[in-house]
Structure 1
Amino acid sequence: MEHHIDTQDTSSHHRHLGKWILGIVVVLFIATSVYFFLRYQHAKTELTQLKDPAFQASQVQKENEQLVRDVAGLIELPMDQQPVIGTVQDVATLAEDQKFFSRAQNGDKVLIYEDKAIIYRPSVHKLINVGPVYLNATSTTDITQ
């Protein structure tokens, strides 16, 4: 018995397979290009927004509103007042000047109302200290707004 292999069928099959592989590679290339182009456009838009002072102010406002909501879930806050909000930057200096900050950590948030101040630690969603307000202009350099 003779086995006859048709070389024309094999050659045609290889060309057909080659076209499929080339097509898949082209589609993958196009899909990857579109993906990275869209990522680039998104990053470009985000960078433009972050450079915009009005956008920055609105982001800070949103963060502050969320912070007040978080703290309001732990303690009753004056609804008719907007707090001055700051972040503890140098707890060692603050703690030397004011015992109120003795348990604070860098990164804690400080909400200052007319009659009370609150130290809040967002990382553990916990109030660290609450006390009356005593204004001392020299200690505000270690809290950034």
Structure 2
Amino acid sequence: MCYHTVMKINYKTAIPAAALIVVLLLTGGFLLYKNQKTANKNPQQAGQDEVRKVVEEVRKLMDLPNETPTVATVVDITKLKDQPFFQKAKNGDKVLIYTAAQKAILYDPVAKRIKEVGPVNAGSPSAQVSSPQTATLKIALLNGTKTVGLASKVEEELKSKVPGLNVVSKDNAKKDSFEKTVVIVLNQLFLDSARNLASLLNATLGNLPEGEEKPKDGDILIILGKDRT
């Protein structure tokens, strides 16, 4: 195994699967869901490209198992600091989870540095947790059309496909003539999630349109266009 940076690996800090589930909020969990559910539907490749990019960066620093990992983003480090594996982590760090190899890697994509490597203890009793309990992604929906009830319809659709998603506000946009749905990142920590939502909705990432107001709360704003009616 070859490292470009010197690091200490503590294999005594086995990571219960439940701890990984906490991290697998929308970023990692949705990637996994999307890969499983839409593999045969020719989806946009934004999510997969992001995974590939992270894997290639980490591969330059260490040998990796011969499998495709689930890649998650740390979005709320305060809920993870009691886990030894995440003592050096910060928001925005990536976690590569190799299920077959039972290995997890904590990676800083800004510093291009591996922070921790540890085994995944899938046999832990806490591994019985089956769904994330601390999802924090907040979505604001704006109806940019004349179709009444469109925001509620899309909210139900998203919640059925993305467990843990939290719609914090629904309202009408200033304009009701949007042709295409646009996804706007309000919190850069959720850029990966925004890309995945754009793929799911066949929408595009964009900036806040002129004349529209930024919502008071929310990590991602989705303005619904006529393509969703």
- Give the Å deviation of 1:120: 0.3
Alignment of 1:123-142 (within 5 A): 123-135=110-122, 136=127, 137=129, 141=133
Between structure 1 and structure 2, the one with the greater Rg is 1
Share of identical aligned residues, percent?
38
SS in 1 for 2:50: helix
The answer on whether the counterparts of 1:91 and 1:142 sit within 8 Å (CA) in structure 2 is no
TM-score by length of structure 2 reads: 0.35
Distance 2:57 2:133 in 1: 25
Q: Measure, in 2, the Cα distance between the counterparts of 1:75 and 1:141.
A: 32
Which structure's relative contact order is higher, taking Cα pairs within 8 Å and 6+ residues apart?
Answer: 2
Amino acid in structure 1 at the alignment position of 2:43: A
Pair 1:104-2:93 in alignment: no
- SS of 1:127's partner is strand
Letter in 2 for 1:127: I
Question: In structure 2, which of residues 43, 51, 54 is the aligned counterpart of residue 54 of structure 1?
Answer: 43
Find the residue that maps to 2:47 and give its secondary structure.
helix
Which letter does structure 1 place at the counterpart of 2:57? D
Q: In the TM superposition, what whole-angstrom CA distance separates every residue of 1:87-130 from its partner, at most 9, and x where no partner exists?
A: 0011111122x111111001000000121100000001000110
Q: CA deviation at 1:54?
A: 2.4
> Structure 1 counterpart of 2:59, which letter?
A
TM-score (structure 1 length as normaliser): 0.54
Q: CA RMSD in A?
A: 2.6
The Cα of 1:139 is off from its aligned counterpart by 9.4
Alignment CA distance shift 1:75-1:82 (3 Å): same
| 2:91 aligned partner, one-letter code | N
Name the structure where helix makes up a greater proportion of residues.
Answer: 1
Alpha-carbon distance in 2 for matches of 1:139, 1:104: 22
The runs of 4+ residues in structure 1 deviating greater than 2 Å are 134-145
Unmatched runs of 5 consecutive residues or more in structure 2: 1-41, 138-192, 194-229
CA offsets, 1:15-70, max 9 Å, x none?
Answer: xxxxxxxxxxxxxxxxxxxxxxxxxxxxxxxxxxxxxx922xx0110111111010
- 2:58 matched residue in structure 1: 71
Q: Is the 8 A contact 1:94 1:142 kept in 2?
A: no
The alpha carbon displacement at 1:142 in A equals 5.5
SS of the counterpart of 2:43?
Answer: helix
Specify the alignment match of 1:95 in structure 2.
81
Tell me which residue corresponds to 1:116. Answer: 103
Gaps of 5+ in 1: 1-52
Paired residue total: 89
1:78 is displaced (CA, Å) by 0.9
Indicate conservation of the 8 Å contact 1:117/1:131, yes or no. yes
